[in-house]
């Protein structure tokens, strides 16, 4: 593997045969070719590397929810409280290294009390498990390069004659800080087990997790559905103890070959019934564009409640409106699970006189309560409708041959290749654009409500005022553009 660095093509990664041939990472390609003419060279692809690392991290999610990336080639797993599930730390370490090396990765892993100590160990002593408080002894003999500090610092340490981590640790901390900076001192401290740098997990820790492992991978839809519903029951039982309901649920399917598929559903109000969770996932799975591919089977299915809320229990039997609201939000959740939350909307009024900005469409899952309490402008009693029932998102241009007076209504217009003779007109209603928002770019509109010979009613407008706005650069007046913006009932 080669990569370009400052216009020089350097070796980026090498395999064992190359190591035996005497090559090393960072060597210019020309030198490497001179040492070993039959070298096979590929371009490095950091994006693909990162993706692979992410995929491995996905796979590692089966061991602990706290997995952090340490790019370009490391992963931190916080296995606090998890190791016993896999038969202890040593067994866990073996499972991980075995599984990964079977897939062709070169793995080196270690377990230690702090993340930095473990990382330092992996660089030189794979498979080591260090108990709490023994980090200093374990890390001490390792060379300083294992710390993973900047190349400049590592070189500086070596030049100062400090070959191993133990040598550096033996110096007074203030000397090290003065020479190499405080960041390095804290790194050293972490490596020696004094204090710990928090890792930043890829995903936020879900509030509740339930999972099921299968010694024999499962692949049929029936078993998957059954597993999901039994997991839903477990999850609800766990949440119920603390009076909580889930707003966001994620089901992860771990395939035997390492691929992981996560499917998420959101709900408008906290879910507390397993059959509801079951149904939401069924809708979602049915509607997937690329269906769940079990491959050779799933060996782990996990259900996690990502966001939970405290449920306020309401009297259900007597108050029918509570029941109705529940029913409706359940319906909205189901539809949203299938076609997407953004496709089920309610509308909130906006304070604007611009016709296309009078309503705001928001996902119904999250804004149902706000929408049902919204205050819409009252209609004027006794007046016919002043606003059209159907409004075009983009006003559609129409052809107007002439108007009797320059700023008057048209006598006829052509819309979508059909000629409409104007029989009745009401207007103009002048709507000025928000000049304080967009420096005069939009023109004032004169709206007319017109009825054609067939009785169809349109809302049309002329973009711009005669004489004042409709002028080109030289001050000559230009013809106005007309648009149809809506249709009345």
Partner 1 sequence: MNGARMGTLASLRGSIARIEAPLEAAMPNRIALGHAGADAMLRGGLAPAALHEVFAAGHQSGAATGFIAGLAGRISVRKPLVWVRQDFSDRENGALSMRGLAELGLDPRLLVVVRAADVDSGLRTAADALACDALGAVVLEIWGQARQLDLVASRKLTLAAQASGVTALVLRIAAAPIPSTAETRWIVRAAHSPPGQAASAWGAPRVEAELVRNRHGPVGRWIMEWKCDECQFSEPSAHPQPVAAAPAHRPHQAQARAGHRLAS
Residues that bind partner 1 in the complex, under the rule CB under 8 A? 323-325, 327-328, 330-332, 334-335, 338-339, 342-347, 349, 355, 358-359, 361, 364, 368, 371-374, 376-377, 379, 381-393, 416, 423-426, 449, 451, 453-458, 486-489
CA distance readout (Å), 167 to 157, 164, 415: 10, 5, 85
Q: Determine the Cα–Cα distance for residues 327 and 269; give it in Å rounded to an integer.
A: 11
> In the bound complex, what is the minimum distance in angstroms from residue 374's beta carbon to partner 1?
6
> In the bound complex, what is the minimum distance in angstroms from residue 352's beta carbon to partner 1?
11
Q: Report the residue number, 327 or 467, with the smaller CB distance to partner 1.
A: 327
Q: Determine the Cα–Cα distance for residues 207 and 424; give it in Å rounded to an integer.
A: 63
Q: Report the residue number, 259 or 345, with the smaller CB distance to partner 1.
A: 345
Q: Determine the Cα–Cα distance for residues 206 and 353; give it in Å rounded to an integer.
A: 44
Q: Report the residue number, 1 or 374, with the smaller CB distance to partner 1.
A: 374
Q: Report the residue number, 237 or 389, with the smaller CB distance to partner 1.
A: 389
Q: Determine the Cα–Cα distance for residues 444 and 352; give it in Å rounded to an integer.
A: 15
Q: Determine the Cα–Cα distance for residues 344 and 335; give it in Å rounded to an integer.
A: 7
Q: Report the residue number, 73 or 426, with the smaller CB distance to partner 1.
A: 426
CA distance readout (Å), 149 to 111, 143, 187, 374: 20, 12, 8, 58
Tokens of 236: 């609800």
Q: Report the residue number, 33 or 357, with the smaller CB distance to partner 1.
A: 357
> In the bound complex, what is the minimum distance in angstroms from residue 423's beta carbon to partner 1?
7
> In the bound complex, what is the minimum distance in angstroms from residue 433's beta carbon to partner 1?
18
Which parts of 174-259 are beta strand (E)? 208-218, 244-255
Q: Report the residue number, 68 or 359, with the smaller CB distance to partner 1.
A: 359
Give DSSP secondary structure letters for 268-304: EEEE--HHHHHHHHHHHHHH-SS----TT-EEEEEEE
> In the bound complex, what is the minimum distance in angstroms from residue 330's beta carbon to partner 1?
8
Neighbours of 331 (CB within 10 A): 13
Q: Are 391 and 361 in contact (CB under 8 A)?
A: no
Q: Determine the Cα–Cα distance for residues 400 and 446; give it in Å rounded to an integer.
A: 14
As to burial, measured by CB atoms within 10 angstroms (0-12 exposed, 13-18 middle, 19+ buried), residue 26 is: exposed
> In the bound complex, what is the minimum distance in angstroms from residue 235's beta carbon to partner 1?
24
Q: Determine the Cα–Cα distance for residues 36 and 117; give it in Å rounded to an integer.
A: 37
> In the bound complex, what is the minimum distance in angstroms from residue 458's beta carbon to partner 1?
8
Q: Report the residue number, 201 or 355, with the smaller CB distance to partner 1.
A: 355
Tokens of 53: 């690392």
Q: Where are the alpha helices (DSSP H) in 74-220?
A: 88-102, 115-124, 135-139, 151-159, 165-170, 173-180, 182-191
> In the bound complex, what is the minimum distance in angstroms from residue 251's beta carbon to partner 1?
21
> In the bound complex, what is the minimum distance in angstroms from residue 338's beta carbon to partner 1?
8
Q: Report the residue number, 51 or 424, with the smaller CB distance to partner 1.
A: 424
């Amino acid at each position: 593997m080669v990569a370009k660095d400052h216009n020089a093509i350097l070796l980026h990664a090498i395999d064992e045969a190359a190591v035996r041939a005497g090559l090393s990472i960072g060597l210019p390609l020309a030198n490497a070719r001179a040492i070993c003419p039959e070298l096979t060279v590929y371009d490095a692809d950091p994006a693909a590397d990162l993706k692979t690392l992410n995929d491995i991290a996905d796979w590692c999610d089966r061991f602990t929810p706290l997995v952090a990336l340490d790019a370009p080639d490391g992963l931190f797993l916080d296995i606090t409280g998890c190791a016993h599930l896999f038969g202890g730390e040593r067994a866990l370490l073996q499972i991980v290294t075995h599984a990964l090396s079977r897939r062709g990765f070169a793995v080196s892993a270690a377990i230690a009390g702090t993340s930095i100590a473990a990382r330092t160990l992996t660089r030189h002593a794979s498979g080591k498990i260090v108990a709490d408080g023994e980090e200093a002894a374990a890390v001490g003999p390792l060379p300083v390069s294992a710390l993973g500090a900047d190349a400049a610092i590592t070189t500086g340490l070596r030049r100062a004659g400090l070959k191993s981590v133990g040598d550096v640790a033996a110096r007074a901390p203030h000397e090290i800080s003065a020479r190499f900076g405080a960041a390095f001192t804290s790194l050293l401290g972490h490596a020696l087990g004094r204090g710990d740098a928090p890792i930043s997990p890829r995903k936020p820790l879900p509030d509740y997790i339930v999972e099921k492992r299968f010694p024999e991978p499962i692949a049929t839809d029936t078993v998957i559905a059954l597993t999901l519903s039994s997991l839903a029951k477990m999850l609800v039982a766990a949440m119920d103890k603390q009076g909580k309901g889930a707003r966001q649920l994620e089901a992860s399917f771990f395939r035997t070959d390492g691929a992981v598929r996560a499917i998420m559903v959101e709900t408008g109000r906290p879910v507390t019934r397993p059959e509801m969770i079951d149904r939401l996932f069924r809708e979602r799975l049915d509607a997937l564009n690329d269906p769940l591919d079990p491959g050779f089977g799933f060996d782990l299915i996990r259900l996690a409640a990502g966001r939970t809320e405290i449920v306020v229990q309401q009297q259900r039997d007597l108050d029918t409106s509570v029941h109705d609201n529940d029913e409706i939000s359940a319906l909205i959740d189901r539809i949203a699970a299938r076609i997407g939350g953004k496709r089920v909307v309610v509308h909130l009024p906006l304070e604007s006189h611009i016709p296309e900005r009078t309503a705001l469409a928001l996902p119904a899952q999250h804004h149902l309560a706000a929408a049902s309490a919204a205050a819409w402008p009252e209609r004027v009693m006794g007046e016919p409708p002043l606003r059209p029932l159907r409004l075009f998102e983009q006003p559609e241009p129409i052809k107007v041959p002439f108007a009797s007076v320059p700023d008057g209504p048209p006598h006829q217009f052509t819309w979508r290749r059909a000629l409409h003779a104007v029989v009745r007109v009401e207007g103009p209603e002048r709507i000025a654009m928000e000049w304080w928002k967009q420096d005069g770019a939009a023109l004032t509109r004169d709206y007319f409500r017109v009825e054609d010979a067939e009785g169809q009613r349109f809302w049309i407008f002329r973009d711009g005022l005669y004489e004042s706005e409709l002028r080109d650069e030289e001050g000559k007046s230009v013809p106005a553009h007309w648009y149809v913006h809506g249709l009345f009932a």
